[in-house]
Chains A and B, each alone.
Chain A
Amino acid sequence: MIGMAKRLSLVAFVCVALIGACCGASLSDPSPTPTVQTPPPDLVAPSPTPLPLLVNGQIIDLERGYVVFSSGDAFKLSAQATITDDATGTAPSYALDPGVYAVATLDSQSGQVVALRTSLRPLAQGTPAAQIPRRYVVMASSPKPNPDLAPPAVAYTKGFSATVGVTIVVSVPANTPLGDDVYMSTDTSGWNPQAVKMQRLDGLHFQIEMEVQRGTEIHFLFTRGTWNTVERDRAGLQRPARDLVVPGGDVRVINVTVYRWADLP
């Protein structure tokens, strides 16, 4: 009886462990699926035969026996290195100017590039140059941390979307003519007075919903369609352009007020 209980509890334990493992696996990593990459050899299980290391990126220079990628990472070219076009497998028919994409095969023992496959289009294979173990990257100075690259301490950025929904609601003066539209004039449009047309919400409010890239900064002013009808401050004096900075994160709603129009008292 006790043996049966032990066996049951063992089965139950295994089941719970399996369920836990499954749940854990499904919850552990919410990050988006990475692109196809070959993991660097020192990040995978040891292999009896060293794997070649594939470096992917955009070449910005190929000279003095080095190939330099757009991340700034330089790799030594082996004296026997071959350079071929990725599609044809033959020598490239185009000049290897800065901007050509490539996958470099590193010899994991010497750390030198033994083969370079190039293309005018981005290539999917390999590991981005910036993620290659630093011991393969040639650099005269010792690496030094860069405080500029530290992520901001408080700002939350929404990692899954490159754009942010921004809603701007503007309250207009009571003497705004009923039939007139209200627009946003922006620096990004060269201050076109009809750049962004707003929707009338009610007798005193207009709004616009926009999808804006994270990190965008827009300067803008409201108009009624021409520069003679641009907004002014309460006294009727010119006002500086409004400033909208979208650092990232979730949907934003911005409420602003126009006190006067240039052509109306």
Chain B
Amino acid sequence: MSPAHPSHSRSNVSRRARYIAVAVLTSVATLLATFATARADEKPTPSGLKVTIDARRVEYFADEGLIVARGNVRVSLSNGVAVDGDACSVDLGLRRFVVAGHVHLSTPGASYAGAAFADFLPFHRAYFIPLTDVPDRWTFLNDDWAHPELGREMPGDTFFLADTQGTAPFIRATAVVIDPDNYVSFSHVVFIAARGALATPPLPRYVRNYSQNPNFAVNSLSGASFDLPYGIGGSSASLDAVHFRYDPVLKTYFSFEHHSVFGGLGYAVFSLNPATQQPKQWNLLAYVPAGSAAALTFNSQLFTYQSGLSQPLSSNGFADVQYTRALRQSALKFEVAQSYDSLLAPTSLGYYGNPSHPFTPNHPLTAALSWAGFAQGVGTSGFTFRLLSGISTTHDAFGVSGTTTHDAQSVYVDALLSSPVYPGPFGTSLNGSYEERHVWLSFPNSADFQTAVVSDSKRFSKVFLTGSLQLQSANTQRLAELVASPNTSTGLVPEPLSPNGLPLLGGVATEFTHATNTALIVIAADAPSPYFQFTLTALRNWYTPVQEPFVAGPAQYQAIADARMKISKTLFLDIGRAYYFNWANQVWSPTFSLQVSAQ
């Protein structure tokens, strides 16, 4: 072998360098290609874009989650892109839209004529068919409007316009603003019913919120048997709604509710309910996370009796602040609650206007600290237990809970033992639990509550049968010397659930120093299909010391039937009624309970 010539050696070195360079470039290109293709498996992400559509006619198909616009359509995106065309269809579920027919696309840098444009918002992909001399296919990736990918293959249904033939719209409007992840806001709205036979007069605006943030649903309105919300304003972080409501006492009235959401879990809700009647509740709820393991909760209510916004005849209210902190296997809660039974200056008569609005001087302040342990296993038995405890102090210059005592303290402990579900006889599933709570009060007084439950269940194909025996008891030394307030941290039951702090047995307030209720509950549920469910609940109550209509105790026998069926793609009907077996001459519950709501 002859030694390598220097020039050969140099050329070998340079060739090797080229190979290395090519190898490096190939590796980098492969890596880039890998990253580029990896997007196909990525989950959709919010685009953050707002879409405004103006057209001669905008229609919203609620069941299908579709918006279809026709005639002089102009779609404007919040990033400056605008698309004009003959027709547009928006799929709110898939968060994509198509504009078709004589399309004109205006991007921040250029304008193009074309046949159709589609934007798959959560995937940051926009597809365009330019049409000048020869049609083409352009794909704008990741909102890069200056460098379209030419000729890139497109999904097969990219420009499909939703077919709404034979379907009546729910709303007809002239413009809509769409925040794809949160809400739609229609302008100049007409609501259509009975397949177009009925239509409302034009209304200025309607906002429908469909956010994935559940805190938009926090409800601060209480006490109506019919509620029809109507969104009048909204953004990705807020919603304003007017509610048309009915209840048997106040009849029909309007209420207002405002929601704000922030930071994923935080929210604030303000409401005025009713807004158009003299008795008014002004509510403010808030939840403010303080890091990942703590949160501040605020719950307040001001009650006024007034016409419009004139000087109230009477007023009362409360405010409750809680700070909750998660620990390793438990949680601590510090709570302060202040109630005012009358917020207006006293009158010489002792009441405002008439005796139904009495002056009550009490304004208890309660501060409490409670501890709640997480469920812990008892060895390897499958049983679990929970321990809870708390201390509180209540001050009222006018006497706590109507007593002459100005300061009362309470301490409570609670233990809950529960079994796992064991196989029972005849193929049944058996489980049970026992809870005991003891409250010491400084009046002095004390209260004990016990609850024991045994349940046995069996499934027959689509029918579920559960029989349960529940024993509850409540004991106290003196009925008068208890604490009832909005505060749960005293260990007693708060208002308005309980008028005196003792638990409700069989659904009725406890008005004896010693009371027990034993309930046999049998629940049969049939679910032959996902579109129909039927539940029948039978109850037998044994209440002591007295179980008598209009005196004390729940109905001896009770049966409740409830049927739920799907009536459209997105709505269900729930209908129920109770039968009391002639308890206090009551055979059936006064009315059916009817609910039509979204599913």
A residues contacting B by CB (< 8 A) are 58, 60-61, 63-64, 66, 68-72, 74, 97-99, 120-122, 130, 138-150, 152, 173-175, 178-179, 181, 185-197, 199-205, 209-211, 219, 221, 226-228, 230, 233-238, 240-241, 259, 265
Contacts and interface: CB of A to CB of B under 8 A. Distances in A.
Interface of B: 33, 36-37, 39-41, 70, 85-87, 98, 100-103, 115-116, 123, 125, 127, 129, 131-137, 139, 149-161, 163, 165, 208-219, 264-265, 287, 289, 293-295, 324-327, 330-331, 333, 370, 372, 374-375, 384, 386, 388, 414, 416, 418, 420-421, 429, 431-433, 435, 453, 455, 457, 459, 464, 466, 468, 470, 488, 519, 521, 523, 525, 527, 530, 533, 535, 537, 539, 564, 570, 574, 595, 597-599
A68 B574 CA distance: 48
B158 A70 contact: yes
A139 B137 contact: yes
Contacts of A205: 421
- Top 7 closest pairs, chain A to chain B, by CB: A203-B455, A191-B217, A141-B151, A174-B418, A235-B326, A61-B115, A74-B135
A236 B331 contact: yes
Given A187-B212, A194-B597, A175 B115 contact: no
Given A211-B530, A265-B372, A147 B36 contact: yes
Nearest to B488: A265
Of B116, B139, B158, B432, most buried by chain A (CB within 10 Å of CB) is: B116
Contacts of A98: 85-87, 100-101, 116, 161
B289 A238 contact: yes
B265 A238 contact: yes
Given A188-B599, A201-B429, 7 more contacts: A60-B115, A68-B115, A68-B131, A72-B116, A148-B123, A194-B597, A236-B372
Of A145, A190, A196, most buried by chain B (CB within 10 Å of CB) is: A190
Contacts, number: 271
Interface SS of chain A? loop
Given A141-B136, A235-B326, A201 B459 contact: yes
Contacts of B116: 60-61, 68, 70, 72, 98
Of A141, A193, A226, most buried by chain B (CB within 10 Å of CB) is: A141
9 contacts: A60-B161, A68-B135, A70-B160, A139-B151, A175-B433, A194-B597, A203-B431, A235-B331, A236-B324
A68 B416 contact: no
A213 B117 CA distance: 27
A70 B159 contact: yes
B466 A202 contact: yes
Contact of B159 (A71, A186, A189, A221): A71
Contacts of B421: 202-205
Contacts of B132: 64
Interface SS of chain B? strand
B324 A174 contact: no
A107 to B, nearest CB: 18
A139 B136 contact: yes
A194 B372 CA distance: 28
Nearest to B525: A199
A68 B116 CA distance: 9
Contacts of A74: 115, 129, 131, 135
A210 B330 CA distance: 35
B40 A149 contact: yes
A198 B100 CA distance: 44
A126 to B, nearest CB: 16
A72 B159 contact: yes
B161 A139 contact: no
Nearest to B93: A188
Nearest to A187: B212
Given A204-B431, A235-B326, A138 B135 contact: yes
Given A70-B160, A265-B372, A146 B165 contact: no
Of A68, A98, A142, A193, most buried by chain B (CB within 10 Å of CB) is: A98
Nearest to A95: B86
A192 B597 contact: yes
A104 B390 CA distance: 79
Contacts of A265: 370, 372, 388, 414, 488
A148 B39 contact: yes
Contact of B214 (A204, A211, A241): A241
Of B86, B127, B333, B521, most buried by chain A (CB within 10 Å of CB) is: B86
Contacts of B326: 233-235, 237
Nearest to A69: B159
A99 B98 CA distance: 11
Nearest to B292: A237
A96 to B, nearest CB: 9
Nearest to A245: B43
B599 A196 contact: yes
Contacts of B521: 178-179
Nearest to A243: B212
Given A147-B36, A149-B155, A201-B464, A241 B87 contact: no
Given A121-B165, A201-B429, A140 B217 contact: no
B543 to A, nearest CB: 16
A157 B582 CA distance: 57
Given A61-B116, A185-B214, A237-B295, A195 B265 contact: no
A221 B129 CA distance: 42
A187 B132 CA distance: 43
Given A60-B100, A72-B127, A141-B137, A221 B214 contact: yes
B431 A202 contact: yes
Contacts of B431: 202-204
Given A187-B212, A236-B331, A265-B372, A71 B466 contact: no
Contacts of A204: 418, 420-421, 431
Nearest to B117: A60
A72 B216 CA distance: 39
A242 to B, nearest CB: 10
B141 to A, nearest CB: 9
Nearest to B101: A98
B129 A190 contact: no
Nearest to A191: B217
Contact of B218 (A72, A148, A227): A227
Contact of B217 (A70, A141, A178, A227): A227
A186 to B, nearest CB: 8
Nearest to B489: A265
A127 to B, nearest CB: 13
Contacts of B564: 197
